[in-house]
Structures are given as structure tokens and as C-alpha cells.
Chains A and B, each alone.
Chain A
Amino acid sequence: MAEIRNYTMNFGPQHPAAHGVLRLVLELDGETVVRADPHVGLLHRATEKLAESKPFNQSVGYLDRMDYMSMMCNEHAYVRAIENLLGIEPPPRAQYIRTMFDEITRFSNHLLWVASCGLDLGAMTVFLYAFREREMVMDMYEAVSGARMHAGYYRPGGVYRDLPEAMSQYTETRWTKGKDLKRRNEWREGSLLDFIEAFARDVPDRIDEYETLLTDNRIWKQRTVGIGVVPPDKAIQMGYSGVMVRGSGIEWDVRKKQPYAMYDQVDFDVPVGVGGDCYDRYLVRIEEMRQSARIILQCVDWLRQNPGHVMLKNFKVIPPTREEMKDDMEALIHHFKLFTEGYCVPAGETYAAVEAPKGEFGCYLVSDGANKPFRVHFRAPGFAHLSSMDELTRGHMLADTVAIISTLDLVFGEVDR
């Protein structure tokens, strides 16, 4: 009789369901996965080493490119670590803006997740629906920072600038005119806050739309219920965080347990799954989008009533304004020193974690008192999640690997760093 051997297959690095550059070496017995060996590092850019060669401020931009689906949350972790060591605290308005944009980011991340996960499992429509809303989130990013994705908006000591008074509008083109133009500009008549508010009020209905497509969909449930089950003790043992632990029924959210920014001032619920399978993780993410909308509305409300500074006034760390710089010799010197040499951060080490949409994003920062970090390490949630790929997929069918990769919510910018 012929010898039967397992079949080894390469999944990726260029595979539409690999969410980037994941090379997964799968050992298959028929269609059942016997062993999965993820090869990562194809997008390794040595961000941590690069950050060591630059003054503290200049690395904020790299953080956008870590998890490029939730840009501002990454910045938040890094900026918080620097603020910890410097012993400064941004003004409350900046903290509220950060809270609001963290939640906008969370919404946008989960939106893209539901889109691409749907696409992976054969649901095309939800992808098109989600990109309709994503466009508006990108516009919010652009309005506040000038960039649609890689914002570079959070700075140690606050945020780069205050929210704009006017929202950009569509102009008339051959394709957008008349009634259509009016509809598209309807929310854009006022300030950015008006736009965000209109969006956040409208969004629960949009989430209902996604849910009608998926939640009770027979095919969707067949593909996700009971797939990739993670028991709670395993979830802790394997270093999971964020939705991955909450999906398994552990009530753990850094925003609630170790609050940062203004999360102790806003009211929101933490959804928790029951079974720990792909379907539960889907439900948790959908509910988190609704909660994000809730937090955004509370922040909008506060920000309307409380104008003020969005940056500390501290010339040792924060550059003076343009006008001050042109007017005052002392301010000019500070400006020059801050943009050439940067600022020295007191020696010490710190770990600052934020609840990024994908899980706990942490920044371990060691300073020896210089103007550059001595060592900086980023704890990316996706790295821990992917490392358990073998345990998660073993015994599943090949097609289920796609569902599992999808609900891990991987982005290789942060896995490889």
C-alpha cells in the first residue's frame, strides 16, 4: 500500500485572506490542519531601533505605521509613555479630544474588520456598506490633522491643534451636483464637532444595516459559530487582550480597569462574549462600535461646552506658537532647540498601555536622560494573538483558518513592527 503523507502548503505571503504579508506554512491531513507555522517579519522595519536614533518627538509618525488601521491609538500609547517620564499631564480638553479620537479610531478599525472579515468569508455587500462610513471617518482624520490615515496628531503634552471650526465640503463636479451634492454636504455645514455628532447619531442605524446582513445570516453563522474556540484560561495564558479575551467571557478592558485619558469620565459598557468562538468575537466588535458612538457623543458634548488649550504651555517640551516665536527672543530660542535637539527626558523606565481596538497596545520606554529613547519596545496585541495560531487552528478545516485569521484581527504593521 502506498504511504500516505501529510501535505504541506504555503498560505501567503501574498494571499487575499492573509491580511497582509503573513506566510503560513500549513501541514494538512486531507483538508484538516495538523500544524500551522506562521512566518512573520516580512514587514519588519526595525521601528524600535529607528526610534532609538531620533529625538522623542520625531518618532510619533512611525507609530501611525504600526497598526495602520488604528493610527491614533498607537500614538496615544507612545505619547503617554513620554508624558509619564516627563511627569506632565495634558490639559483636559486635549484628553477629551484624545478620548474622542481613540473611539473614532476604534470605530473605524472595527468597521474595516467587519468589512474584510465579511469579504474573507464571502459576504461582499458588507464590505461596500462599511467603506461608505469609513470615508467619513477618514474625513474626520483629515479635518483634524491634514492626513487621512497617518495623522501624527497626538503630541507629548496634548494634541497638535484644536478642532477646526469649519468642515471641508464637497464642491460641484460633473458627477456630484444638485440634490446629490446637497445631500453629501448636509452634515458639513458647521464645524467638525457638528459633523462628528451627526455621524455618531446616525451610526447605530448603519450598524443595524450590517447586522441585518450578518448576524442571523445562515452562511455567516455556519462559518463562525464554534470555530476557533478559546477557553478563558487559555486566553489569559496565551497573552490575549482586547476583544480576544472579552470574546472568551473575561470582563477585561484597560479603559475600565486602568483608565487613562478621560475614560473614567465617560459612560460606556464593556460587551463580553460567552463561547469564545469567532461568532462571539464578531458580536463583541459590533457592540463595541455602538459603545464607541456613545462615548463620542459624550465627548462632543463636553468639548462644545469647554473651550480651552489643547497643549500644555511648557516651553521645555512644547514649542511656542508661530506668533510667539516671531515676537519673543526667548521663544525663538526654545523653538530652535526643540526642533533641532529635542528635549531630554528624565532617566527612568515606564510602560504605558492603551486599549487599542485590537487589544492592549503597550509602550515600554527606557530613557537614560538623553534626548532620544534608550530603548523603546512596543507591545503589539496582534503579535501575541498570532503566536497562538498553531493551537487555534489545529484540527480545523483549511477554510476555517481564514475565519480564524480574520477574527484575530491582524495587521502586519504591528505584528512585525
Chain B
Amino acid sequence: MNGTDKSLVEALKSRFPERVSISPPRHGIPTLEIEVGAWLEVCRALRDEETFAFGQLTDLCGVDYLGYGQSEWETADATFEGFGRGVEALGPGRFDWASRPEAGDIRQRFAVVAHLLSFTHNRRLRIRCFAPDEDLPIVPSLVEIWSSANWYEREAFDLFGIVFEGHPDLRRIMTDYGFTGHPFRKDFPLIGNVAVRYDSQRQRVIYEPVEIEPRVGVPRVIRKDSRYKADEVDQAADSEAERLAAQAAATGEGERDG
């Protein structure tokens, strides 16, 4: 599939020289980043033009890039304080938008990511569009182009609060009737805001603020130390050895029974 992917990237580059940026396929699928203003126009071209013919929108989801590349655990210096250095740090749901961590080189917070599939050419494409405004993220709706976007956009609206302009029926889909907030945002706590229980005195189901403490057992760590370098060399050698071993139908078996 690599050959076709290369030709796809070339075709994309020559067809959309402006307002989009193309990243080559690192893990199989090239990514097309489209400006919000060109979103509908480019998508329509991707569906209708013979060279692309992406007839199906397989998948669409929202992504919240808040806290991208941030870790909770200081890995550079060891301290005597042990686990405390992890617990005290910023974690999902423990910060608000005002005291947000640096988002690295990410320009905007909310993005819509969709995966397209071309049945005629047998290839996939990932398209991404950043919403310009992070307080009220608005992205044009793709329902008119691919009708399968309907529920996916409702889901992204429900979970991330991304508003899809021109969507025919933008209701919540996953959360409870009468839910407030957008639970998959990175500043929405994992434990939620309200708990529901049956109150035997009032004889009805009530909502009340959650009482449990947020507790994430394993801190988020980003390691760039020696363990993660020269990996590829080891890897290639390892998998090559594996392959040879299997081909020769080696006698050792049942290696892993821990």
C-alpha cells in the first residue's frame, strides 16, 4: 500500500497547494490538515474528484489538545519525596482553562479528526480541522457531504462541545438527558460532577455533587531517557531473530506462562 500512499500525497499536494498542510504517512495513513474556511470545499473535492474518490467517512471524532505533551511526574531529578511528586502534579481534571498547562506547539485546542475511505482506490486519509475559537469551537458540518457524519458530529458535540454549523439535528447523544458540560474535555474531571442515587426519604432519584476524591493511580510520565533510544535497532534485531526462530521451527515452546 506504500506506493499508492505516496501517489496520494503527491496528488494532494498538487491539488491543494494552499490552506492545507499534508503530513506524510507515518503509520500508514497520510494526514491532511485543513483550515476551517476551506473545510467544506476541500472535503467536497475529496469526495467527488476521481483521483481521490473518498466515498465514505468511516469515522469522525473530536480531540482536545489541552495538556498535550505534559507529564505529571518529574523524571529528570529524583527526590526524597517519593510518590508525592506525582500526586501533586497536574493531572486530567485537576486544572481549569485559566491555569492550563503549556500546550507545546499546538496552536489551538479543539480539533475534529475524520478518517476517510475510498472503496475505489482502497486507501484511507485522515483529515483534521482545528476550531479557531476555543471558547466556542465552531466547525462546519460534513453531513451534507457524507451523511454518516451525522451521529459522529452529534457525539463530538456532546462530548467535546464542538458546534457543527449546518448540522440538521445537533442534539446530545451519549450523555444523560439534562446533562451539563462536555465530559471528554481534558478539563472535565474523570470522576464527573454529579452522582445519581435513589433517595428513600424523598422517594425519588436525585442528583447530588460527587463526594469521591479524584484518584489516578499511575501518574502520566513522558520518558526520553536511554531506554527509549536505540530502540529501533534492538527491535529490528529482535523481530528478525524471532522470524528466523519460527522459520526453523525451533524446539523451544511455552516460553510465557507467567
CB contacts between A and B, total, < 8 Å: 198
Cβ-based interface call for B184 (8 A) = yes
Q: B59 on the interface (CB 8 Å rule)?
A: yes
A344 contacts the other chain (CB 8 A): yes
B245 on interface, CB distance cutoff 8 Å: yes
Contact at B148–A375, with CB atoms within 8 Å?
no
B68 adjacent to A314 (CB under 8 Å): no
Against A, the Cβ 8 Å flags (1 = close, 0 = not) of B47-83 are 0000000011111010110001111000000000000
Residues from chain A with a CB closer than 8 A to the CB of B31 are: 349
Cross-chain contact B256 with A49 (CB below 8 angstroms)? no
List A148-186 residues whose CB lies under 8 Å from chain B. 158, 160-162
By the criterion CB–CB under 8 Å, are B174 and A377 in contact?
Answer: no
A225 contacts which chain B residues (CB < 8 A)? none
Cβ–Cβ contact A239 & B148, under 8 A: yes
Cross-chain contact B28 with A321 (CB below 8 angstroms): no
A351 and B126 contact, CB distance less than 8 A: yes
- Tell yes or no: A247 within 8 A of B by CB: no
Q: Which residues of the other chain, A, contact B235 by a CB distance below 8 angstroms? A: 87-88, 314
Interface size on B, residues (CB 8 A): 70
Asked if B231 contacts A316 (CB within 8 A), the reply is: yes
| Chain B residues whose C-beta falls within 8 Å of the C-beta of A239 in the assembled complex | 56-58, 146-148
Complex Cα distance A236/B147, Å? Answer: 10
* A334 CB → nearest B CB, Å: 9
Q: Which residues of A contact B (CB under 8 A)?
A: 40-41, 44, 46, 48-50, 52-55, 84-85, 87-89, 91-93, 158, 160-162, 236-239, 241, 250, 252, 257-258, 305-314, 316, 319-323, 325, 340-342, 344, 346-351, 353, 360, 362, 364, 366, 368-372, 374-375, 377, 379, 383-384, 386-388, 416-417
Task: Specify which of A252, A313, A341, A364 is in contact with B115 (CB 8 Å cutoff).
Answer: A364
A364 to B69, CA, bound (A): 18
- B7-15, B201-209, B213-221 - the one binding chain A: B213-221
Beyond A84-B28, A161-B257, A314-B235, whether A238 also contacts B147 by CB under 8 A is: yes
Which of A85, A258, A306 is B122 in contact with, Cβ under 8 Å? Answer: A258
Known: A237-B56, A308-B250, A416-B174. A369 touches B124 (CB 8 A): no
- With most chain B CB atoms within 10 A of its CB, the pick from A344, A377, A383 is A377
30 A-B pairs whose Cβ atoms sit less than 8 Å apart in the complex: A41-B174, A44-B175, A48-B184, A54-B218, A85-B27, A87-B231, A161-B254, A236-B56, A237-B55, A237-B146, A238-B148, A308-B250, A309-B242, A321-B257, A322-B257, A323-B258, A344-B221, A349-B31, A351-B28, A351-B59, A353-B58, A362-B59, A364-B113, A369-B224, A371-B221, A371-B222, A379-B115, A384-B58, A386-B151, A388-B147
B18 near A: Cβ within 8 Å?
no
Closest CB in chain A relative to B228 CB, distance in Å: 6
Q: What chain A residues lie within 8 Å of B26 (beta carbons)?
A: 348, 350
A40 near B124: Cβ-Cβ < 8 Å: no
Which residue on chain B has the smallest CB distance to residue A238?
A: B148
Tell me which of A258, A371, A377 contacts B1 (CB under 8 A). Answer: A258
Interface presence of B223 (CB below 8 A): yes
Residues of the B chain whose Cβ atoms lie less than 8 Å from the Cβ of A322:
257-258
B227 at interface, CB cutoff 8 A:
yes
Instruction: Say if the beta carbon of B20 comes within 8 Å of chain A.
Output: no
A309 near B246 with CB under 8 A, answer yes
A364 touches B246 (CB 8 A): no
Q: Enumerate chain B interface residues (CB-CB to A < 8 A).
A: 1, 26-29, 31, 55-59, 61, 63-64, 68-71, 92, 113, 115, 119, 122, 124, 126, 146-148, 150-152, 155, 172-176, 183-184, 190, 216, 218, 220-224, 227-228, 231-232, 234-235, 238-239, 241-243, 245-246, 249-258
Contacts of A344 in B (CB 8 A): 221-223, 228
Chain B residues within an 8 Å CB radius of A316 = 227-228, 231, 234
Q: Which of chain A's residues has its CB closest to B173's CB?
A: A41
Main secondary structure of the interface of B (DSSP, over half): loop
Whether the Cβ atoms of B222 and A369 lie closer than 8 Å is yes
Given contacts A312-B238, A323-B258, 12 further A-B contacts (CB under 8 A): A50-B190, A84-B28, A158-B256, A238-B147, A316-B231, A351-B29, A351-B126, A353-B58, A360-B58, A362-B59, A362-B115, A379-B58
Q: How far is the CB of A34 from chain B (nearest CB, A)?
A: 16
A46 touches which of B57, B59, B184, B224 (Cβ 8 Å): B184
- In angstroms, Cα B253 to Cα A316, docked, is 22
- Check A341/B221 contact, CB under 8 A, given A239-B56, A307-B251, A314-B235: yes
Interfacial chain A residues near B228, Cβ < 8 Å: 316, 344, 346
Distance (whole angstroms) from the CB of B125 to the closest CB of chain A: 10
Q: Is the CB of B151 within 8 A of A383?
A: yes
